[in-house]
Structure 1
Amino acid sequence: MVKFLSAFAVVLASVASTFAYPTGAGTCNADATAIHYGMGFTQNPSGFSLSASSAVYTPGTPLTITVQGSGTFKGVLLYATLDDGTTRVGTWQIDSGFRSMPECTGSDPAASITHSNPNVKNAGTTFTWNPPASASGNVHFQGAIVPDMPYFDIFASVVLAPAAPPAPVVTTTTTVAAASSSSPAPAPLVSATSAYAVSSPVVVTTTTTVATVTVTATTSVAPAYSATRRCKA
């Protein structure tokens, strides 16, 4: 009887472990030790990884993070941090089958995303991440995945650098006086403006003025000389 009860307890423990976190990650951090000892899961290489749609991020421009690999998974935890590994930045677009994590204090509830059901999800699933309003240095995407409970794996971090700011535009203006051949009055000015990008924040203004010069040349030509020779009769 005791042996039967012990075996039954083991089965119950296994069932509880398998279905304990069907509506979200049981932790806010992708920490192998915490997941193993706190949640009772076993870490096992899964072959899953993360990839980003860009090597850099631009404030105000969403990008996608994709779960790469083969096969399926049931649970996931994703978030982005600064170089300190703790300050979470940006927010996630919450699609069907996933939810934000308001239980993770100290950051925007939408700064972390997890599954909302234990349904099977396919490799290639994408998540849309919205960068912070201003660039704050490198961003590290971290997370954990549960291919099939009670097994989990930790994603290798994907690091994105902030995009370079756009080059400032410099305007150059050239002023030229139009030529006049008959009037001594000042000629109207004609301005041409061109813009080009430079690699450093600098403002350059160039003005060139060409004076009006009128040259009159007079050439005198002597009349043709005609001579008549007289002859005696």
Structure 2
Amino acid sequence: MLFAATLASLLAAASASPGGSGTCWADTTAIAAASAMGANTPSLGIFASVPTGAMYTAGTAVPVTITGTGTFEGILLYAIAGPATGDSATTSHVGTWIGFNSTYQTLDSTVTAPVANCTKLGTHATLSHTSPIEKTLPVTFNWLPPPNAVGNVSVVAVVVIGQTAAGAHAFQVAQTSFGPSSSPNAVAAATTSPTPSSAASRNTHGAALSATWVAAVAGLASVSALAAFL
């Protein structure tokens, strides 16, 4: 019975609970088990993204856009340090969400149960909805990086749509990653970094060829000898 009650409380996790998410992280197994939404459904076509090539700098907000078609009812949105595969119920949420309207809120100590208080994972670091009214996709939120870089970050979003033709809610987890502008190993969003060794190899090879030609020219006694060398 306790297990069932716990799962029931997680229905607010990402299903459009009236006042906001009832969980602080994207536990798809618990969300699906606690409701009639079924499993995480990638076919909904919902994506999280930042501008192409984006990297973060302290004090400068990064726009995070949730794209898709139609409308949605609920959302859970946060960023963590490292890959999304490292996400868990105790993983700290980094940065803060700013500039959103009254349709949304951060899950802090001001919320009322069953909406989750996620302050233990980071203040103003976990964003959700304030009501289950239909909201239009795409929608953009502003993520403010922490004062000190934490390496590459992953933004995780759980988006819930209204009832489908089958009569149930459906949800999808969307993710995107990017890194700090100060790190040589940062992941630039939606880009493929060039291979440093390729450029270095070309420069080294060019320098070697130049040295060879200089030596060859210096060692030739006449223009005719140079022509013979060529």
TM-score clears 0.5: yes
Which range moves more in the overlay, 25-34 or 126-135?
25-34
> Greater helix percent: which structure?
2
Deviations 1:157-213 (A, max 9, x none): 201111137xxxxxxxxxxxxxxxxxxxxxxxxxxxxxxxxxxxxxxxxxxxxxxxx
**Counterpart Cα distance in 2 of 1:48 and 1:95:** 21
Contact 1:25 1:76 in 2 (8 A): yes
Deviation at 1:40, TM superposition (A): 4.5
**Of the candidates 144, 149, 160, which is equivalent to residue 135 of structure 1?**
149
Alignment of structure 1 residues 73-112 onto 2, 5 Å? 73-83=72-82, 84-85=86-87, 86-93=91-98, 94-102=100-108, 103-112=117-126
Q: TM-score, normalised by structure 2?
A: 0.59
Measure, in 1, the Cα distance between the counterparts of 2:121 and 2:37.
26
The structure number with the bigger radius of gyration is 1
Structure with the higher fraction of residues in strand conformation: 1
For these two proteins, the number of residue pairs brought into alignment is: 151
Counterpart CA distance in 2 for 1:121 and 1:82 is: 28
Q: Gapped runs of 5+ residues in structure 1?
A: 1-12, 166-233
TM-score, structure 1 length as denominator? 0.58
Alignment of 1:17-166 (within 5 A): 21-43=17-39, 44=41, 45-53=43-51, 55-83=54-82, 84-85=86-87, 86-93=91-98, 94-102=100-108, 103-149=117-163, 150-164=168-182
| Residues 27 and 35 in structure 1, CA contact (< 8 A), matched pair in contact too | no
Deviations 1:38-91 (A, max 9, x none): 345323331111111352111111011111111110101000001143221000
Partner of residue 209, structure 2:
none
Paired residues of 1:100 and 1:114 also in contact (CA < 8 A): yes
Quote how far apart the aligned CAs of 1:26 are. Answer: 2.2
* 3-state SS of paired residue (1:81): strand
- Contact kept in structure 2, 1:26 and 1:39, CA below 8 Å: no
Computed over aligned residues only, the root mean square deviation of the Cα atoms, in angstroms, reads 2.6
Q: Which runs of 4+ in 1 moved over 6 A?
A: none
**Equivalent-residue separation in structure 2 for 1:158 and 1:33 (angstroms):** 21
Higher relative contact order (Cα pairs below 8 Å, separated by 6+ residues): 2
